[in-house]
Amino acid sequence: MVPRAITSFTAVAITAVAASLALLPPLERVHSNADLRPSTSALSQENDPDPTDFSAEELEHLQRRFGVHGPQTQLAQLFTRGVDQLQPLRANTLSRLTRLKPVIQREAGRHSINPMLITAILFDEIQHSKPGEDLPFVVHSGLVATHGPAQLGISELIHQGRLPMNPSPQQISEARDLLMDPDANVELLAAKLSRLKGELGLDRESILIASRSYVDAKAIATLAYLHNGKLDYPARVLRYMQDPALHGLIYSTIRPAPLPVI
């Protein structure tokens, strides 16, 4: 994503946020039973900076601590936008997310993660997954580094202490099987987001809501960036978090039809 030109007011605001990230301050605690539905306000006010714009200081800080990959090429971005327009593919992605809804809601509550953030990441990763990469012989061949709905790798299991620093071939094989289990993969994604919140100095019990404040939106954009490593990824995740179909999928309930009165 190409950062837009910013006003002097925006530059000051972004610099302030960059400094706050560098100092790793905690965010205000939010009760886990808070209403997670978005408010009617827009994602950000007209004069607020874009939370997906990262200053040079922010990028330097994140690269020093986590490593970055930079933006996708223009051709790759064009391909991504084209894929998003394929309605049969979108319908299939929504169907897979519907089956994952119970585990998304469970792990979101368990790890104090906004369920829409988990859903948006899963939607993007499933929507843009490569054909055949989930076949067992491909998974165990080592040709692909990330697996499952959230596209997680062996390194995340090491970060979470579920594998030793130098796992054996047998442990790696078992880890790949675990990553290919959809429910386990979603749980690992929620745990990863919680881990990153802690490493950024954010309150791990705080449920970030993008529509509530620029600070929350910036934190969500940073988490999305660290998950995928591409600068254009946070904008997609924030957009998916506002998708009416995804909101309906997570927050809607099915009520049985009333019995007819005879």
> Is residue 32 within 8 Å of 112, Cβ to Cβ?
yes
Number of domains in the chain: 1
Q: Structure pTM?
A: 0.75
Residues written for the chain: 262
Find the largest Cα–Cα distance for the chain. 71
Burial 25-44 (b: 16+ CB within 10 A, else e): eebeebeeeeebebeeeebb
Lowest pLDDT segment from 49-53, 54-58, 206-210: 54-58
Please report whether residue 10 resides in a domain: no
pLDDT at 253: 76
Using CA atoms, how far apart are residues 208 and 226, in angstroms rounded to an integer?
16
Give the model confidence (pLDDT) of 60-80 as tens digits: 888 888 876 555 555 555 545
pLDDT for residue 7 is more than 60 = no
Lowest pLDDT segment from 4-18, 67-81, 108-122, 247-261: 4-18
- Which of 116, 137, 127 minimizes the C-alpha distance to 211? 116
Backbone angles phi, psi at 153, to 5 degrees: -115, 175
Please report whether residue 23 resides in a domain: no
> Is residue 236 within 8 Å of 124, Cβ to Cβ?
yes
Please report whether residue 191 resides in a domain: yes
> Is residue 233 within 8 Å of 69, Cβ to Cβ?
no
pLDDT for residue 119 is more than 80 = yes
Please report whether residue 185 resides in a domain: yes
Please report whether residue 8 resides in a domain: no
CATH label of the domain that carries residue 119: 1.10.530
Please report whether residue 165 resides in a domain: yes
Please report whether residue 260 resides in a domain: no
Please report whether residue 7 resides in a domain: no
pLDDT at 43: 43
pLDDT at 15: 43
Give the model confidence (pLDDT) of 123-138 as tens digits: 999 998 888 888 999 9
> Is residue 124 within 8 Å of 225, Cβ to Cβ?
no
pLDDT for residue 44 is more than 60 = no
Which residues span the domain enclosing 199? 55-66+75-250
pLDDT for residue 42 is more than 90 = no
What is the 8-class DSSP label of residue 153?
A: E
Mean pLDDT for 165-190 is 97
